[in-house]
Structure formats: structure tokens, C-alpha cells
């Protein structure tokens, strides 16, 4: 409850006065703009606090140990996703060759662009409520097509402006067809028994991914895996002589995080805490490990890049 000198906290209507309780709550750093705030009375509960932000969205602060477990699982899942990705890419290749603008072909186009450009999948509720877009919610006004080039310009999550230029013959060909369909949405599909187009949703995209890779994966894994691969490539591009001291390694980590953040369209803090596998940044302090990864024999694989092969090699040695 806000007061002139800050906040006061009550349990079942009674004012909290114990310094330890107040210190624990203040350490949660609950944003002062939150409303309808509920705080757990247990210091070990999974959910420590819940409230609504200025936009009315429910926000949750989790216990640090729970967050650590979730992060470990997220990066382990992203590693499994990266190893399984060639199977999905082969399926996308097959579906992109289809002639009709059916659900499979349009979903394959979206997955292909997410794979190549790390788009967020999008959510119609966010688009309607906040005017922020992901790939499935893009409007025709967000695209410009010219020959084999597509230019995307739109506002994404957190009001971030995104501008991407994609040179991709297959994707451009499909996008040209999609732009001819009625309605403002870009990604729509046609069913054989219905002349009217249907919008492709994030649920459709996740269903496509899970059908071909497994139920544990989703569109979110593209950005986690892509960020980790980009971080590894940036790390390996650095001169080993520039990783000799603690201050040099700290500077290298800052460089890596900055590059990844720009690639994702995120803040550096979010890129580091949510997208880059921490084992990559820790590897900056292990020159022998980096040397082995740099010198690893790479295979010619149609659906796995050399950067991904090096990323898998580094993670398996961490």
C-alpha cells in the first residue's frame, strides 16, 4: 500500500513491522507502477509476487532458484532443438515447394523466416491491445517487396522498432502470392473447401513445429538457439590474444552481448539474461576449449551451418 514515505505491507489486514519481512519484500524490487500486488508470505515460494503493470498485464516475480531451474531447462531444450533442427528444415523445404497456399505451405514460410531472421512469432492479443507485432500478426503495410527482396518495418514487443531486409527467392515468391489475398493480414492460408482466407496463428506455427520436432519445442526456441549460435560465432571471431586477462574477457562478453542484442532487437540486459546460453560467455575464460572448437573438423551438412556445428561442439564440452 503506497504511503507518503514509500510503501507499507499488510498480511490479512495487519501491518507488517518485522524488518526481515520488509527487507525481503523490498529486495524483490517490485515496480512501483504495479497495481493489485500480491506478495507471498513464504520466502521459499515459487511465486514471490504478482501484480499488474501499467498496461494491465499480469506480471510475476519468481523465486531465484526457480528461475535458475527454468533457465537451465530452457537452454538445455534449446540445445536439443538445435540438434534436431535439420529435421524441421528438411520438412520446411518440402512444404515450401507446394503449389497451393494451404496451411502447411504458409506455416513453412513463417518457420523459414523465423529460422533465418529470428522473428518473434507474435500474438493477436498483443497486436490488438498494444500495436506490437510478431511475424504471424504482420500487416501488409509492414512489408515492401521488390524482385527477390522483402523489407519489413514494424513495431515489436516493448515498442521496439524492427527493420529487416530479406533476400530470399522462395519466401518472396510466397509473399507475393500472400499479398494478393484480401484483407490486411500477411500470413493467411486457403482451405480447399473455402474460398475465404484464414489467418495463420501462433498456435498454427507451434503445432507445425511440434508435429515435426516434438511436443517440447515451440517458436520461442528459434530465438534462444539463434542468439546462442550468434554469440558463439562472435566469440570465436575474437582474437585469442584479446581474451588473456579478466578485464579483456569482460570486454569481450560486453561485445558479444551487444552484438546479440542488436541481432534480436532486445536490450543487452534481456539478451544476456534470457537468450544467450551462459556456457558460451563462460567459455571466454577457457582458451583450450575455444581452441578445440575452432579447430574442430566440420562436415558438409545441408541443414546445419558450420556455426551451429561449432555451437554444439562448445556446449557439449562445457
- State the CATH number of the domain containing residue 116: 3.90.15.10
Do 202 and 278 lie in a common domain? no
Do 183 and 276 lie in a common domain? no
Do 102 and 145 lie in a common domain? yes
d(CA 201, CA 281): 35
Tell me what pLDDT residue 25 has. Answer: 87
Mean pLDDT for the stretch of residues 164-191:
95
Mean pLDDT for the stretch of residues 89-109:
96
Q: Does residue 223 contact residue 261 with C-beta atoms inside 8 Å?
A: no
d(CA 277, CA 268): 14
Tell me what pLDDT residue 130 has. Answer: 83
Do 103 and 198 lie in a common domain? yes
Q: Which of 185, 126, 133 is nearest to 161 (CA)?
A: 133
| pTM value > 0.75 | yes
Collapsing DSSP states into helix, strand and coil, what is residue 172? helix
Examine the fold and report which residue of 177, 192, 213 is the final residue of a domain before the chain moves on: 213
Partner residues linked to 154 by β-bridges:
162
Q: Report if residue 77 sits inside a domain.
A: no
Q: Provide the number of structural domains found in the chain.
A: 3
Domain enclosing residue 305, as ranges: 220-316
d(CA 242, CA 249): 7
Q: Which of 318, 313, 242, 241 is nearest to 281 (CA)?
A: 318
Do 164 and 107 lie in a common domain? yes
Q: Report if residue 131 sits inside a domain.
A: yes
Do 198 and 247 lie in a common domain? no
Partner residues linked to 149 by β-bridges:
146, 167
Q: What is the DSSP string of 173-235?
A: HHHHHHHTSSSSBS-EEEETTEEEEEEPPHHHHHHHHHHHH-TT--THHHHHHHHHHHHHHHH
Tell me what pLDDT residue 6 has. Answer: 58
pLDDT tens for each residue of 215-273:
999 999 999 999 999 999 999 999 999 999 999 999 999 999 999 999 999 999 999 99
Q: What is the CATH number of the domain that holds 10?
A: 3.30.66.10
Q: Does residue 235 contact residue 290 with C-beta atoms inside 8 Å?
A: yes
Mean pLDDT for the stretch of residues 33-40:
89
Amino acid at each position: 500500500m503506497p504511503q507518503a514515505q514509500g510503501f507499507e505491507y499488510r498480511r490479512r489486514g495487519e501491518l507488517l513491522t518485522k524488518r526481515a519481512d520488509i527487507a525481503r519484500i523490498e529486495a524483490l524490487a517490485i515496480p512501483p507502477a504495479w497495481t493489485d500486488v500480491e506478495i507471498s508470505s513464504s520466502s521459499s515460494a515459487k511465486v514471490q509476487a504478482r501484480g499488474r503493470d501499467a498496461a494491465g498485464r499480469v506480471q510475476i516475480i519468481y523465486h531465484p532458484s526457480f528461475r535458475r531451474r527454468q533457465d537451465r531447462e530452457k537452454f538445455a531444450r534449446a540445445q536439443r532443438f538445435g540438434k534436431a533442427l535439420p529435421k524441421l528444415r528438411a520438412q520446411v523445404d518440402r512444404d515450401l515447394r507446394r503449389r497451393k497456399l494451404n496451411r502447411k505451405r504458409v506455416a513453412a514460410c513463417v518457420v523459414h523466416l523465423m529460422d533465418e531472421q529470428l522473428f518473434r512469432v507474435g500474438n493477436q492479443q498483443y497486436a490488438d491491445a498494444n500495436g506490437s507485432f510478431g511475424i504471424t500478426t504482420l500487416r501488409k503495410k509492414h512489408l515492401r517487396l521488390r524482385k527477390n527482396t522483402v523489407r519489413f518495418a514494424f513495431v515489436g514487443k516493448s515498442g521496439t522498432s524492427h527493420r529487416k531486409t530479406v533476400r530470399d527467392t522462395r519466401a518472396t515468391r510466397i509473399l507475393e502470392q500472400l499479398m494478393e489475398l484480401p484483407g490486411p493480414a500477411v500470413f493467411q492460408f486457403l482451405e480447399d473447401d473455402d474460398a475465404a482466407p484464414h489467418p495463420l496463428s501462433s498456435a498454427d506455427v507451434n503445432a507445425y513445429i511440434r508435429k515435426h520436432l516434438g511436443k517440447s519445442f515451440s517458436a520461442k526456441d528459434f530465438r534462444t538457439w539463434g542468439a546462442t549460435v550468434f554469440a558463439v560465432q562472435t566469440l570465436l571471431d575474437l582474437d585469442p590474444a584479446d581474451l588473456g586477462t579478466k578485464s579483456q574477457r569482460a570486454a569481450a562478453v560486453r561485445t558479444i552481448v551487444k552484438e546479440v542484442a542488436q541481432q534480436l532487437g532486445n536490450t543487452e540486459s534481456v539478451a544476456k539474461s534470457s537468450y544467450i546460453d551462459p556456457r558460451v560467455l563462460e567459455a571466454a575464460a577457457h582458451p583450450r576449449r575455444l581452441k578445440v572448437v575452432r579447430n574442430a573438423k566440420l562436415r558438409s551438412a545441408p541443414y546445419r551451418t558450420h556455426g551451429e556445428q561449432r555451437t554444439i561442439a562448445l556446449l557439449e564440452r562445457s
